[in-house]
Amino acid sequence: MRGVSKVYGQGPTAVHALWDADLSVEPGALVAVMGPSGSGKSTLLTIAGSLEDPTRGEVLVDGASLSQMSRNDKARLRRRSIGYVFQDFNLLAGLTAVENVTLPLELDGLSAKRAHAAGMQALDELDLSDRASRFPDELSGGERQRVAIARAVVGDRLLLLADEPSGALDSINGEAVMRLIRAACRRGVAGVVVTHDAQLASWADRVVFLRDGRVVDQTSPPPSPETLLAPSPNS
Amino acid sequence: MSVRHALLALLSEGPKYGLQLRQEFEAGTGEVWPLNVGQVYTTLQRLERDGLVESDDEGTDGPQKGFRITAAGEKELVGWLRTPPDLSSPPRDELVIKVLVALWVPGVDVHEVVQVHRRYLVELMQQWTHLKEDAAETDLRFVLVVDAELFRLDSVIRWLDAADGRLRRAAVESPPRVPLPLPKRRRRVGVRP
Cβ contacts of A230 within 8 Å, gap of 6 or more: none
Task: Indicate if the alpha-carbon torsion angle B4, B6, B11, B16 is positive or negative.
Answer: negative
Closest CA relative to residue A235, chosen from B129, B35, B107: B35
Q: Is A8 helix (H, G, I), strand (E, B) or coil?
A: strand
Residue B44 — very low, low, confident or very high, per pLDDT cuts 50/70/90? very high
How far apart, in whole angstroms, are the C-alpha atoms of residue A66 and residue A115?
A: 26
Say whether residue B121 is in contact with chain A using an 8 A CB cutoff.
yes
Q: Quote the Cα angle for A120-A139-A147, to 5°.
A: 40
How far apart, in whole angstroms, are the C-alpha atoms of residue A212 and residue A16?
A: 8
Instruction: Supply φ then ψ for residue B5, to 5 degrees.
Output: -75, -30
Residue A88 — very low, low, confident or very high, per pLDDT cuts 50/70/90? confident
Q: Which residue in chain A is spatially nearest to B116 when comparing CA positions? A: A217
How far apart, in whole angstroms, are the C-alpha atoms of residue A185 and residue A192?
A: 10
Burial class (CB in 10 A: 0-12, 13-18, 19+), A189: buried
Which pLDDT value is given to residue A235?
40
Residue A171 — very low, low, confident or very high, per pLDDT cuts 50/70/90? confident
Quick one: average pLDDT of A61-81?
91
How far is C-alpha A79 from the geometric centre of its chain's CA atoms?
Answer: 14
Among A58-67, B47-56, B87-96, B151-160, the minimum mean pLDDT is found in: B87-96
Which pLDDT value is given to residue B112?
94
Say whether residue B135 is in contact with chain A using an 8 A CB cutoff.
no
The model's pTM? 0.81
Quick one: average pLDDT of B124-139?
88
Percentage of chain A exceeding pLDDT 70 = 95
- The answer for A 35-54 residues in CB contact with B (under 8 A) is 36
Say whether residue A186 is in contact with chain B using an 8 A CB cutoff.
no
Say whether residue A232 is in contact with chain B using an 8 A CB cutoff.
yes
Reply yes or no on whether the pLDDT at B57 is more than 80: no
Contacting residues of A for B126, CB less than 8 Å apart: 202, 204, 207, 219, 222
CB-based contact A225 B153, cutoff 8 Å: no
Reply yes or no on whether the pLDDT at A135 is more than 90: yes
**Helices then strands (H, E): number in chain A?**
7, 11
Say whether residue B133 is in contact with chain A using an 8 A CB cutoff.
yes
Reply yes or no on whether the pLDDT at B84 is more than 60: yes
CB-based contact B119 A209, cutoff 8 Å: yes
Reply yes or no on whether the pLDDT at A215 is more than 50: yes
Average pLDDT, chain B: 86
Which pLDDT value is given to residue B183?
64
How far apart, in whole angstroms, are the C-alpha atoms of residue A43 and residue A72?
A: 22
Q: Which residues of B11-35 are buried (b: 16+ CB within 10 A; e: fewer)?
A: beeeebbbeebbebbbeebbebbbb
Q: Quote the Cα angle for A78-A82-A86, to 5°.
A: 100
Which pLDDT value is given to residue A180?
86
Reply yes or no on whether the pLDDT at A226 is more than 80: no
Output the DSSP codes for A24-68.
---TT-EEEEE--TTSSHHHHHHHHTTSS--SEEE-EETTEEGGG
CB-based contact B127 A220, cutoff 8 Å: no
Reply yes or no on whether the pLDDT at A25 is more than 50: yes
Q: What is the ipTM of this complex?
A: 0.86
Cβ contacts of B189 within 8 Å, gap of 6 or more: B89, B90
Reply yes or no on whether the pLDDT at B45 is more than 50: yes
Beta-bridged to residue A160, according to DSSP, are A83, A191
Query: What amino acid is encoded at A33 in this protein?
Result: V
pLDDT in tens, B67-81: 999 999 999 999 999
- In contact, B67 and B46? CB cutoff 8 Å: no
Q: Cα dist. B144→A121, A232, B128, B131, B147 in Å? A: 32, 21, 12, 12, 5
Q: Which residue in chain B is spatially nearest to A226 when comparing CA positions? A: B131
How far apart, in whole angstroms, are the C-alpha atoms of residue B54 and residue B56?
A: 7
Quick one: average pLDDT of A114-129?
89
Query: What amino acid is encoded at A113 in this protein?
Result: K
